[in-house]
Structure 1
Amino acid sequence: MSASLHREPESQGFDDASWLLIGLCLLFLIAFQLAAPFAFAANGFGGSAAMIGLLWTTDRFYTRYRVRPAFAALVTSVMLIILFSIVGGILSYLVAAQGGALWDARLQRWDLALGFDWLGYARWVNEHPTLATLYRWAYVSMIPQLLVMVLALTATSRLREMRIAICAAILAGLAAVLLSGLTPAVGNYIHLNLGPGDLPNLQGAMVATFAQYVDFSGVRDGSLRLIELMRLEGIIVFPSYHSALGAIFIWGFTQLGRAGWPGVWWAGLMLLATPIYGGHYLVDVLAGIALAAAALVAAGRLVRRPWLRQVAKAVGGRTPLPATLPT
């Protein structure tokens, strides 16, 4: 094998840290499941397993037989995104079930101490329907933004930056899930007991928030003990994972130079929309951004090393794991 092939993975980074983080998520999931077991509906797992199997097979083919490092890296990233969406989503429910007293009153006080009037902001957005619609589209486009960022970084051969963004998203997500168990909250719409008549142009946000609250309260009071993969809700309030991803998207799109500025603008709009369409407090958003910044710094270091290969050597293996060579 040529020296250039050995150098390329290190210059472009490794996926090992992301895989280890997925494994850590699974360990936490098992631990929480043993403490307070949930049942799982069968629907959704078969399709997800088939998709992951297809991606894994594609990755192996373009890693070992028809070597295409960039395409293999793209496939791996999509697989990691899907896996963390599943494992992290389930873990968020198990963690919420163990949460203590609600933090809403405290989070609201912190917002007021910062001079932020959430209800005043919501009323202002409600009075501008066009802005409310723009906010809605920005907020619900989280997954498309992630995929566009990954595709753009891969297409421009910025594989290391792409891997940093994916690793940071997983690391920030895991941290957000675990922290949410210490700081459970229901968000502004529920905490302030707002109804459709209070903010008529934001009814969509209220409906979504109420659906999240139904699951959140259900896992806390024990009435919801069956997890359906295809019906998982985003039940984390503090810190805001939407905001963490928005900050990661902004970083990712800035790596593209001027071509990435539309993505930066749209991700920034999502951050502005998060208090409205997620019912989040301002401190939720700030905490999410801070979490993303720390995750990006950590991920920048984590993707530099082939952790799985080092683990294999540590346990006596002589042959490097194939997954780390061409991707």
Structure 2
Amino acid sequence: MHFLPVERFVASIIAALFVIDIALVGFKDIQIDVVGYCLSIGIGSGLVFLGQIYRARKREEKMAAALIAAGLFILFSICGSIFNYMFLPVRFSLIDEMLMRIDGWIGYDWARSVTWVASYPLIGTLLFFVYATSLPQLLFIIIVLGFTGKIRQLHQFLLTGVLGALISITFWVFFPTYSPSAFQELPAWVPQAMPLALGPEYGRELVRLGHEGVRYLTPRNVEGLIGFPSFHIFMAAMSVYFVPRYRAVILVIVTLNLLMLPAVLIQGAHHLSDVFGGVLLFAIVCPLSIRLAKMLTFRAGESPSGRSNVLVRSFWSFPEK
């Protein structure tokens, strides 16, 4: 296996999470959908393996980088989601009340906002579909960055997502939130007027998980546990920041993610404070990830200008010791 420095770093994190997940699942005696997870892991691993085949051809580096990054992204998402669930039931005090109080100072109320949007079903439906584009957007940007040869930006993108997710999980463990949907009810007509990605049922399920923990895990119905900071907003910021500079692509991605702001609030059942938290997290993590990516690459033999020296070129020709 020939991994570039950032790929190797991310693969190491995935391997560590995988071992921890296996240990905690066994320790907590949690039943797991083996077939479902094996299929998901197989897809991610298959992409990485296919990328290695293209890399071995030496002239197929763009394809290799895109496939490996996509595979690592999938594998990290699987291991990271399981890792997040291992901290159930909730052990620390919720911060939802504080966040709702802050939202109240600003004048925001989730139930009232959702009810207002439901009066305009086309808008609510549009936000429903926009909300569902978060992960596809990330995969799209991975593919485009890889196939256009922007390997450095691709690795910075990958590292930003991984570190942002780990920090979000860590913060959630000590400062957990459920969702305003766990504390506020919607009029009965609202779910009938427009589709809701996450509604009151989601809030009730989070409360149940927070009290009882998880007994069975399957990739088919894993819930997003993290409320503050909003990782959907973090991903939206990633998409806008790292989108390849092609006018048509920029226009689509920027438009989608401007709409993602209200979509996260309405369809994602978030506090308004979660949005600010997601933006702040990205503002902190992104420059740190870029710097770390440069450090990892430079130590492996790439010059600060991005031009590979002999050491990097030899990386492709000789097996690692």
Q: Is the TM-score greater than 0.5?
A: yes
For 1:16, the aligned partner's letter is: R
Shift in Å at residue 276 of structure 1?
0.6
Task: Tell me the percent identity.
Answer: 24
Query: 1:150: which partner in 2?
Result: 142
Query: 1:21: which partner in 2?
Result: 13
Pair 1:56 & 2:45 matched: no
Alignment of 1:1-327 (within 5 A): 14-26=6-18, 29=21, 33=25, 36-197=28-189, 200-207=192-199, 210-211=201-202, 213-214=204-205, 216-222=206-212, 224-253=214-243, 255-259=244-248, 260-306=250-296, 325=316
- Cα gap change, 1:307 to 1:218, in 2 (>3 Å): farther
Shift in Å at residue 262 of structure 1?
1.5
Asked if structure 2 preserves the Cα contact closer than 8 Å seen for 1:243 and 1:285, the reply is yes
For 1:239, the aligned partner's letter is: P
Write the deviation string for residues 216-240 of structure 1: whole angstroms up to 9, x where unpaired: 3343333631212332121221221
- Cα gap change, 1:224 to 1:124, in 2 (>3 Å): same
What residue ranges of structure 1 are gaps of 5+ in the alignment? Answer: 1-8, 311-319
- Distance in 1 of aligned mates of 2:213 and 2:172: 20
Q: In structure 2, the residue corresponding to 1:43 is in which secondary structure? A: helix
For 1:184, the aligned partner's letter is: P
Q: In structure 2, the residue corresponding to 1:15 is in which secondary structure? A: helix
Q: Which segments of structure 1 move beyond 6 Å, counting only runs of 4 or more?
A: 307-310, 320-324
- Distance in 1 of aligned mates of 2:115 and 2:209: 31
Write the deviation string for residues 28-79 of structure 1: whole angstroms up to 9, x where unpaired: 5467557744232222122123323322321221122354111111011111
Asked if structure 2 preserves the Cα contact closer than 8 Å seen for 1:188 and 1:281, the reply is yes
Asked if structure 1 preserves the Cα contact closer than 8 Å seen for 2:127 and 2:263, the reply is yes
Q: In structure 2, the residue corresponding to 1:44 is in which secondary structure? A: helix
- Cα gap change, 1:17 to 1:203, in 2 (>3 Å): same
TM-score if structure 1 supplies the norm length? 0.81
Asked if structure 2 preserves the Cα contact closer than 8 Å seen for 1:17 and 1:302, the reply is no
Asked if structure 1 preserves the Cα contact closer than 8 Å seen for 2:66 and 2:145, the reply is no
TM-score if structure 2 supplies the norm length? 0.83
Q: In structure 2, the residue corresponding to 1:205 is in which secondary structure? A: coil
- Distance in 2 of aligned mates of 1:91 and 1:324: 33
What residue ranges of structure 2 are gaps of 5+ in the alignment? Answer: 301-310
Aligned CA RMSD, in angstroms, stands at 3.1
Write the deviation string for residues 243-287 of structure 1: whole angstroms up to 9, x where unpaired: 11011111112x414232211111221122101111100111111
Q: In structure 1, the residue corresponding to 2:223 is in which secondary structure? A: coil
Q: Higher helix fraction: Structure 1 or Structure 2?
A: 1
The answer to which structure, 1 or 2, has the higher relative contact order (CA under 8 A, 6+ apart) is 1
- Cα gap change, 1:212 to 1:73, in 2 (>3 Å): farther
Which moves more between the two structures, 226-235 or 83-92? 226-235
- Cα gap change, 1:325 to 1:95, in 2 (>3 Å): farther
- Distance in 1 of aligned mates of 2:194 and 2:173: 28
For 1:84, the aligned partner's letter is: F
- Distance in 2 of aligned mates of 1:283 and 1:158: 34
Number of corresponding residues = 304
Which moves more between the two structures, 73-82 or 124-133? 124-133
Write the deviation string for residues 86-133 of structure 1: whole angstroms up to 9, x where unpaired: 111111211232432332211101112233333343233222222111
